[in-house]
Amino acid sequence: MNAAVIVFPGSNCDRDAVCALRDHTAQKVYRVWHRETALPRVDLVVLPGGFSYGDYLRSGAIAARSPIMASIKAHADRGGLVVGICNGFQVLTEAHLLPGALMRNAGLKFLCKSAKLRVENTQTAFTRAYADQAQTDIPIAHHDGNYCADEDTLKRLEDEGQITFRYLDNPNGSAHDIAGITNRAGNVLGMMPHPERAIDPLTGETGGLGFFRSLAGALT
């Protein structure tokens, strides 16, 4: 399996994502600058965390209009896997690859802490390795992680099993405690927690390992 990690001005989790993919998932990982117009031949595209364009206008809004996004949309339309983590989730909503929006956290404070999550749907390419693990801990680090959507969208997410991760303590006010969702086809995931920061017992939590093991299983 090959993967691409997209780098925007202000990305700061791209190296962590590359290392996690190389160690646990992908045979080859490309770092792709956002000004490129074509992806290499890959199975998975990751939009990493950070503060693309300094979060000006709205978090992810400018990055969502980068030249590479047309190729990412085409990759998703073909059924290729796409993951947006934290700022990447914000970019995916701004690009309309996922519904809803990420707003300022309730309390208007930046949050950097471990988050307790329930794995809501273990039948996706991103979560199957959690089948025997109903809960996990994965860190968050965001100011605009409050997931919002209209009631019809929230009902559809619930009814169609598109909610993948749910906060147990809802630190940011997200509707329906949402921490991560997929698109209807199930091949595009956005999540605010950082699984790439929770894969090594030497540095703390390992709750993100199931995420990368799921991807490895989905693409072998």
Please state the pTM of the whole predicted model: 0.96
Instruction: Tell me which H or E stretch contains 141.
Output: strand 135-142
pLDDT of residue 220: 75
Neighbour tally for 175: CB within 10 Å: 17
Q: DSSP alpha helices (H): ranges in the chain? A: 14-24, 69-77, 87-94, 151-159, 209-218
The catalytically annotated residue of 34, 75, 94, 196 is 196
Helix, strand counts (H, E) of the chain: 5, 11
User: Which residue pairs from 201-204 have beta carbons closer than 8 angstroms and sit at least 24 positions apart in sequence?
Assistant: 204/139
Check if 196 is active-site: yes
Characterize the bridge pairing of strands 2-7 and 44-47. Answer: parallel
What tokens does 116 get? 């307790």
Strands in 10-107 per DSSP E = 28-33, 44-47, 81-85, 101-103
The catalytically annotated residue of 13, 34, 75, 86 is 86
Let me know: does 45 contact 39? Beta carbons within 8 Å.
Answer: yes
pLDDT in tens, 60-99: 999 999 999 999 999 999 999 999 999 999 999 999 999 9
pLDDT in tens, 109-144: 999 999 999 999 999 999 999 998 889 999 999 999
What are the structural domains, with CATH classification, of the chain?
2-218 (3.40.50.880)
Return d(Cα 142, Cα 97) in angstroms, integer.
20
Mean pLDDT of all residues in 190-212: 94
pLDDT of residue 26: 72
Instruction: Describe the crossing of helices 209-218 and 14-24 by its angle, rounded to 10 degrees.
Output: 60
Q: Is 57 exposed, middle or buried (0-12, 13-18, 19+ CB in 10 A)?
A: exposed
Mean pLDDT of all residues in 160-182: 98
